[in-house]
Amino acid sequence: MKQDFNLQRVIHFIRRDVTLLKGTWTTGFLVVIVALFLFSMLNMVWDKELASEEFLGIFGLCYIPLGLAFTFSVFREFGHSNTDQLYLALPVSIPERLVSKWFSTTVLYTIAFSLVAIVVGVFAVTVGIILFGVDFSFSAIFSEKYWTIVGTYFIIQPIFMVGAITFSKNKIGKTILSIGILFLGFFLFNLVLFVLFNQGLGVFSNDGLGSVAFDRASSDFSLIGRWFYGILFGPLLLVVAYFKMVEKEV
Amino acid sequence: MLQVKNLDFNYPNRGFVLRSVDLELKPGNIYGLFGKNGEGKSTLIKIMAGLLFPKSGICNLNHTQTKKRSPKTLQEIFLVPENFELPALPISTFEKINSSFYPNFSNEQFYGLLEEFQLHPSNKISTLSFGQKKKVLIAFGIATNTKILLMDEPTNGLDIPSKSQFRKVMASAVDKGQCIVVSTHQVRDLHSLINHVIILDNSKVIFDHPLEIISKNLWFGRATQDMGEVIYSEGPFGGRSILTRKNLDETEVDLELLFNGVLQETQNINQAIKK
């Protein structure tokens, strides 16, 4: 086991990914810098301020999609028939591969994106002060909303990681479709449970309770549900990703 | 070193590609793995590299299953696949990001081989032809100094001068303790390079002998009537033939003739060698 996990190899593997995907990631970050700046400027045109809540809204819109795109990009070699042989033959164990991919697309990416966002935000506010006389109110980026956005990304990212490993073509589309089907499945499951446990109330016998059932099925998570989605779901999917990688043949 | 025992393999919803394959590959040998198209050469190479998993039987490198893909095992195997894509990086960057995974990698050897192949470290891989890319990978593979070097159709995509260059590089650069497996259907390309012949046909290993034993027991050339019993001949009168050697002078093994002969007269040729 000791030989199957070597931190030095993980660092080499992350460095390898960064070198290979330098071009893709630079382009991605440039697009995001422009988008963050433009959205911030547009926001300041209306109310002459850029509140941290507003900025974090823009942050979330860019941070999550770009992170998911990066997740797919780090598995490009893994799923392509012309690159998978050399990739899988590299002396790196599955736990090392998984840790390096996860770490670079979550922790490293979040740090890099947050730094870029702060710089762009400060620059946008400075330009806003000069052009529109905006009040300087850009503060507390690491608020509760920031951590909610980061937390959401950390929970949904492993789903896309499994999608990137599982599908060889149209990965993004197939992953989103699978999530849609999965969500529908959970929704129907919750609905059936709600109906079963509230049969005595005459659910569906009149319009009011029927709509309550639908509302509850889509929004009400029990304590177990919250624990499952918030803490267990991500690691569970990382375990799925691990076994998908173990089973991978060329 | 590399042991294949009672190995079966089939792709999903298809018949067996490999059946009851037994092989024992030893260090210091260059094995030529021959077979017609679609006979399972590439499949066997991929199983040896741990990229495909046997349906039954084992493929072990030093008593560890290659399908486990443990770093310790993969550090001792390098595969030059038939089809591959290299990243759009300068050759030197490609070396830097990949060589750190191989503990016995020799920079000196890699850059020496590049020079021999008339490639410069600053060349961007995306601007190279497929043959040149193959040379980069062959040079990298040799420089890893792994115990096992697997090459799947390495001469495909190489022009005629490059093929002889390849033979020259392989003969001079390869360490004596290495075990090299070269799979090809172009038998002539490995002339004077290999010292052991393995032939696959109908999903099975039908021939597995060192060149030394082959030349000791078989005679290759244009036979005359008084020379003895012909095992295999490519033409009725004076064509290239394989004979049991007996008292005849030793001849160089004609790999193409041997390959054709084994496919036609498997049992007779194997018997002549075992005698």
Minimum-distance CB partner of B74 among A15, A85, A89 = A89
Does B52 contact A9 at a Cβ distance shorter than 8 Å?
A: no
CA distances from B166 to A103, B42, B131, B139 (A): 41, 20, 11, 10
CB pairs under 8 A between A and B: 74
Domains of chain B: 2-202 (3.40.50.300), 209-274 (no CATH)
Q: In the numeric block, which tokens belong to residue B213?
A: 């034993």
Minimum-distance CB partner of A90 among B70, B83, B101 = B101
Q: pLDDT category, B231, cuts 50, 70, 90?
A: confident
Average pLDDT over residues A66-85: 93
Exposure class string for A113-150: b at 16+ Cβ within 10 A, else e: bbebbeebbeebbeebeeeeebeeebeebeeebbeebb
Does A16 contact B46 at a Cβ distance shorter than 8 Å?
A: no
- Say whether pLDDT at A217 is over 60: no
Quote the percentage of chain B above a pLDDT of 90. 66
Q: In terms of CA atoms, which chain B residue is nearest residue A88?
A: B51
Q: Record the pTM.
A: 0.87
Minimum-distance CB partner of A89 among B79, B86, B89 = B79
Provide, as residue numbers in chain A, all residues whose Cβ is less than 8 Å from the Cβ of B87. 20
pLDDT of residue A74: 95
- Judged by a CB distance cut-off of 8 A, whether residue B46 touches chain A is yes
Minimum-distance CB partner of A249 among B53, B83, B96 = B53
Query: Predicted ipTM?
Result: 0.90
Burial class (CB in 10 A: 0-12, 13-18, 19+), A95: middle
What is d(CA B178, CA B48) in angstroms, rounded to the nearest whole number? 15
Q: pLDDT category, B153, cuts 50, 70, 90?
A: very high
What is d(CA B272, CA B215) in angstroms, rounded to the nearest whole number? 11
pLDDT of residue A170: 87
| The residue to which tokens 């890319």 are assigned | B133
Average pLDDT over residues A156-161: 92
Q: Which of A33-47, A126-140, A153-167, B244-258 has the lowest mean pLDDT?
A: A126-140
- Say whether pLDDT at A1 is over 60: no
pLDDT of residue B189: 80
- Judged by a CB distance cut-off of 8 A, whether residue B195 touches chain A is no
Burial class (CB in 10 A: 0-12, 13-18, 19+), B2: buried
Average pLDDT over residues A74-102: 94
pLDDT of residue A212: 65
Mean pLDDT in chain B?
91
pLDDT of residue A213: 61
